[in-house]
Structure 1
């Protein structure tokens, strides 16, 4: 983890956070999720060193800021925990902290009316940044970048669309349980429990029987879940658990480069960065939700 210089005079105070922009010679400090470590609010107040300076969230959000604000400089800090971000956001709303932005995953906050309202508090359009960047076109664009040749787009589109169709009920269940502070998908480990991806020679796919078994395990009524999802306009691509979606797309990419080019697998950290770059280069200016971000910055 890269660390900033220690600033002894600005430890343990909200005023210290408000004045950090002076030390970084920027206009604002931006606090984000992501990074290898998760810090509490006390950690953030205790030391300006407690953050990660290189993360996928920073790669994504820095491009969002670059596309929506001109003539300003920013220092980005990934602190891992959305809980911590929300606690810092409370101080921002109360006017106890200034000169910062906070950007976080939407998850289901929009649907549950839990978004914190302040001009300097921003949310992703989808469940997380992964939902905003990953789609079949992004997979294809990343493959073109890796292979420097044409890609079998029908093959990718058909497999990706099949995933969206097959995972749909699981996403509905996840949204339904989230309102009860529960979840359908695994969040910490075993994220791909419902994905058949053990053999790179075959296109990864949803284990529909595993989805059905978990519905029974969670004592969920499918009609109730569907009614909730349709009422709240749950969209599979937008609201799928972001890490599941991103990891699935990484599996597609590694499957494709193996069967088509006999390449070795590529780590998902590299694939994530490629996807972020390809999305902003190829899709962001004309994507369906570009106004979501423009409107947040103009509020």
Structure 2
């Protein structure tokens, strides 16, 4: 049986650390992301961040915040599919990512150029990288949009179409050439899935294009980094060693210039309301 403070204890927990708020996040990498955003958009707030190792461990705190039983905390979560399937819980102190998770923020031409510049063994033409990445994401989107919409629709009524644990799921390719969607396998999986039940009815119109914004963050970031490494190797030789963690830190440190304006504006407005 795990230890759990009372609602009053959680509400007053901030006093032990002499801060304005306690912010609960899902995991270690999420902690770095939310720390960065608070430092950018609300630097005057004194916030202590604590990770809870998964959304399941945040449910009781979320409920306490929603019902007014817990004060002085923020809950910082991945959006996942909640905004799309209509079960997004709205409260000023329940914060969420703009897309599926924070990794989706960086699937941009500017971020691709920043990663290429970081790992390239010699100077690389950033305009070429941006043009190439624009073409690549356009090609991915033509198939990815349809697959993602199907996955969301099936997930709304039970089992989805894709695995969110395997970043290579429904992808074909390799580390040398990058990855694209395996359309034949996707069609076969759809035929198998429809036998278990019809898709849920989802109105995607208010959300516009959902790929890559709501594609599984772990998976889209894997595809993104694989492409960056492949294009650098093809363009100017073997990439320099840089772990995914190092690359994520680099992207976070340049957040304002690497994410799309809509992403930045959404996150800034969300934190401004605190």
Compute the TM-score of the two structures, normalised by the length of structure 2. Answer: 0.84
What is the aligned partner in structure 2 of residue 161 from structure 1? 138
Is 1:178 paired with 2:155? Answer: yes
- In the alignment, what sits opposite 1:89? 62
1:57 is the counterpart of 2:57: no
Q: Is the 8 A contact 2:108 2:258 kept in 1?
A: no
CA distance 1:107–1:245, shift in 2 (3 Å): same
- For 1:288, which of 257, 262, 267 is the aligned residue? 262
The change in CA–CA distance for 1:201 and 1:226 in structure 2 (over 3 A counts) is farther
Displacement after TM superposition at 1:121 (Å) = 0.9
| 1:64-143 equivalent positions in 2, closer than 5 A | 64-143=37-116
Higher relative contact order, chain-length normalized (CA < 8 Å, sep 6+): 2
Map of 1:32 onto structure 2: 25
User: Paired residue for 1:235?
Assistant: 210
How many angstroms apart in 1 are the aligned matches of 2:200 and 2:136?
24
Q: Rate the CA distance shift 1:62–1:204 in 2: closer, same or farther, 3 A.
A: same
Length, aligned pairs only: 264
Find the counterpart in structure 2 of residue 43 from structure 1. Answer: none
Does 2:12 align with 1:19?
Answer: yes
Do 1:139 and 1:275's aligned partners in 2 also have CA atoms closer than 8 Å? Answer: no
- Structure 1 residue 232, shift from structure 2 partner: 5.5
The unaligned stretches of length 5 or more in structure 2 are none
The answer to whether the 8 A contact 1:109-1:115 is kept is yes
Contact conserved, 1:33 with 1:81, CA < 8 A, in 2? yes
Structure 2 equivalent of residue 263 of structure 1: 239
The answer to whether the 8 Å contact 2:79/2:99 transfers is yes
Match of 1:247 in 2: 222
Deviations 1:240-286 (A, max 9, x none): 121111111111122123333213554323332223333x14145x7
Helix, strand or coil at the partner of 1:288: helix
Partner deviation per Cα, 1:177-203 (whole Å, 9 max, x = no partner): 121132222123x231222233x3323
Distance 1:291 1:86 in 2: 27
CA drift at 1:125: 1.5
Q: In structure 1, list runs of 5 or more residues that go unmatched.
A: 1-9, 35-54
Tell me, yes or no, if the aligned pair for 1:197 and 1:251 is still in contact at 8 Å: no
RMSD of aligned Cα (Å): 2.7
Q: Are 1:254 and 1:266, in contact at CA under 8 Å, matched by a contact in 2?
A: no
Q: 1:227 to 1:95 in 2, by over 3 A?
A: closer
1:140 to partner: Cα distance: 1.6
CA distance in 2, matches of 1:117, 1:197: 40
> In structure 2, how many angstroms separate the alpha carbons of the residues matched to 1:24 and 1:165?
50
2:190 equivalent in structure 1: 215
Question: Normalising by the residue count of structure 1, what TM-score does the alignment of the two structures yield?
Answer: 0.78
